[in-house]
Every structure is written in C-alpha cells, then in structure tokens.
Amino acid sequence: MTNPVGVRSKSERVISRTLFKYLIRDILFSFFVSFLFFFFVFFVNQLLLMAQEILAKHVPFLQVVMLVFFALPQIISMSSPFASLMGTLMTIGRMSSDNEVLIMLASGLSYKMIFIPAVIVGILISVVSFFANDVLLPAGTIQFAKLYRKILVSTPALELEANSVKRFKDTTIVTGPVEGTAIANILILDRTNDGERRIILAQDAELKDAGREGLSLDLTKAFLQSSKEIVRNDYDYAFTDSLRYWVPQSDLIQAISSISPNQMSTTDLRKAIAVKGVELDDRLYIQYGKCLTLALDLEDSLRKSDFTWNRRENTLEALNKEYQIVGFMKRDRSYALYRFEYNQKYAVPFGALSFVFLAVSLGLYAKKSGQTVGFIFGMIISCVFWVLLFGGKTAGIRLGYSPFLTMWLPNIIAISVGSVLFAIKIRR
C-alpha cells in the first residue's frame, strides 16, 4: 500500500527547520540561565572572596578587577558542564510537562529527533568548555601570575594570612591569628646559607613591608634552634626578647611563579608526563638494580655453607624492603597527579555532552512542573558528579587507580543510565 502524495511515513518523518530552531533556542536559553547560576556560585565562592581579601590589603581596585578577569576561564570551564545538564533537564522537562513532546510524537516525530538538537548543543558546549580549559585557562594563569608578582612587589604582606602555612624557597612560615600587621604564635622553618636547619618560635610578630627587600618580621619572645644537616646531635639554641627575620622578595615571587598541572594546557601536560615517566623509569631501573644485587647476594649465601644464618636473614629483610620501595615508586603521586589532570582536561568538558543523554532521558519522564523538577534533579546530579570526579581523583592518586577510568567514570555512568532510561521510554 502506498502513501498519499506529499505524506511521509512515521519512520521517514524528520524534524522541521522551524522546530529544530525552536528546540535549539530553548535549550540555549535554559543553558544560559543555568550557566549564570553556576557561574555566580563559583564566582562568589572563589573569586569574590579572593578579591575581598586583596582589597583589604589596600591593593588598587583596577588591579583586583584584572586579577578576577584572568581567573575567569577556570570558572567558565567548570560551570559549562553543569549548566548543560541543568539547562537540558529544564527544557525537556518543561516540554514534557506541557505535552509538547506528546504533540511532536503525534505529528510523526520520534523520541530520537528530540535528541538531535540537544546533542548538537552538548557538542558546542563541550568544545567551548574545552577551549576555555585548554587555551584560555593557561593563558589567564600566566597573566594572573605576572600581575600578582607586580602587586606583590608593592604589597608583600599579601603572602601572609591568618592561621595558614606558607612555603617559600627555603622557608616555611606557620602563622596564628592575625590582626592588622600583628601575628600571634608564629613558627618559621628554614635553611641557612651554610646548610643548617633552623626552627624559630615566637610569641608575637609584627609584619613590615621592606619594599624591594621583601618582608620583615619583628619577633618578640623568640626561641631559635639550628642543627647540622648531617650530624643532627650537633645543634645550638638560643632565647631572645626580639629578633628581626627577613623574607627576600625573590622568595616571595618564586612562591607564585610555578604553575600547577590543572592550569596547564593538554600539550604541556603531555610533555610533562613524558618527562616524569622517563625520570620514574630511571629511578625504577636503579631500584631494580639494588634488588637484583641483594637477590644475587642472597643466592650466593645459600650456595656457601660458611654464610651465617643471621646474615641471610638480614639480606632477605633488606631485599623485601627494597622491593617495597619499588611499589611505592610505581605509585609516584606527582606522576599520578599529572596523569589525572590530563584525563580531567578532557573528561570535564565532555561532561557537557554526556549529561545530554541523561538529561533528555530524565526530562521525558517529567509530568508536572518540569522546569522545577529539572532544576532540583540538576542540582542533585551535579553534586554527585562533583563528588565522583574530585573524590575519585583524590582516592585514585592515593590508591593507584587508573586515571582514565577514574576521571571518565562519571561520564560513563551518565551515558549508561541515560541510554537505559531512554530505551525504557521508547519501549513504553
């Protein structure tokens, strides 16, 4: 039996250009609203608190604004995937509760046609998020560091905060409560030019800006102990009512010059991982050599009857210890961190696309108040995704899990659950 002229069968019906534009526009609008929500949350939580603290140190307002601007790419890259989830959920949920999805099905369209605009928007958001994370973030980090160094030259007091631990080149400073320039209960660990280790404890300290010289700390009721690096029993100690301690400007600048792995581009991360991998292989080669030497020594002891039992036991114990070191070296945390960050560079932006599969499927089940339900479910899923992503990374680094599987697990779960729910919906 043939169809009437100009009428397509249900299986041949495709989405019209007008409806396609309507869906794209609606999803993008919901994404924009959701993006503003998450952007505001991250912005207030990270950037405004930082800006408030810096402004309190009398830094010019325009420089603070520029610092916030250079830090924006990280907020954009983190907000986009969650906004994609919530925006798609709110759009499809509203269409389902308003019976727009039912009207589309009655007109000959299938559920799969609803996926097409959502997937296109998800791909677009993923690309933008990846660009912000891989290009804008490293560039912004470099500019942020340059501007912060410039501010630090004029306001060195920025580097010392209340109840914090601050590490410089050869110095670690632990501070207690801070009121203005007064610091209570301060601990300083450093190393002298002669290689001696020093511990300085003080009841109170006054922070002073020494200009080009860096920072000076006027300590009161101070205790000082210095010890040799090799001979720890050779030490000196002293008590003093007042002591002036200097933190050079070069140490202050060097403390903020290093770029963390999450602020690098994927290209730089790939190069750093390759270098760290070679270094790790070299260390493992040396360590395996130690194990082999001890193993050969143990074998030789077993062949000789004049070898004492105690010596054999000591050699076997030393071999076990050296082999345990091999296991610790294989779980090198620095190397693992770079590998996890590399996978996260792709996994987080791709979350915008993987969330589409879950959001469309959940949105189709909405019966009433689709936008409200979409917002609530979006918040819950975002929290779960956040816990799986960053909790998994922390546990993975400590326990030696696969970086790829750990970082991509939330996306795999989102796609799997979304596909199952969508298949169930189609069968019904």
pLDDT digits (tens, 9 = 90+) for 91-123: 888 888 888 888 888 888 888 787 888 888 889
244 and 265 together in one domain: no
DSSP 8-state symbol, 170: S
d(CA 220, CA 201): 9
User: For 37-65, what is each residue's pLDDT tens digit?
Assistant: 888 887 777 666 666 667 666 777 788 78
Statement to judge: residues 30 and 141 lie in one domain:
yes
Cα separation, 152 vs 160, in Å, equals: 11
In a shared domain, residues 25 and 145: yes
- Domain assignment present for residue 3? The answer is no
**Within this chain, do residues 19 and 141 fall inside the same structural domain, yes or no?**
yes
* Domains: count for the chain: 3
Is there a domain that residue 41 lies in? yes
CA–CA distance, 381 with 34 (Å, rounded to integer): 14
Are 121 and 27 within 8 A, CB to CB? yes
Tens digit of pLDDT for each residue in 221-270?
899 888 876 555 677 888 988 888 877 766 655 555 567 788 888 999 99
- Indicate if 19 and 146 belong to the same structural domain: yes
Q: Report pTM.
A: 0.71
Token couple for 156: 């060195």
The answer to whether position 5 is within a domain reads no
Same domain, 65 and 193: no
Under 8 Å between Cβ of 121 and 28: yes
Write out the DSSP string of 97-148. Answer: HTTHHHHHHHTT--HHHHHHHHHHHHHHHHHHHHHIIIIIHHHHHHHHHHHH
The helix/strand/coil state of 237 is: strand
> Do 20 and 140 share a structural domain?
yes
At 7 the pLDDT is: 40
Position 324: which residue type?
Answer: Q
**CA-CA-CA-CA dihedral for 412, 418, 424, 428, to nearest 10:** -160
Please give the backbone phi and psi of residue 283, each rounded to the nearest 5 degrees, phi first. Answer: -65, -40
The 3-state DSSP class for residue 182 equals strand
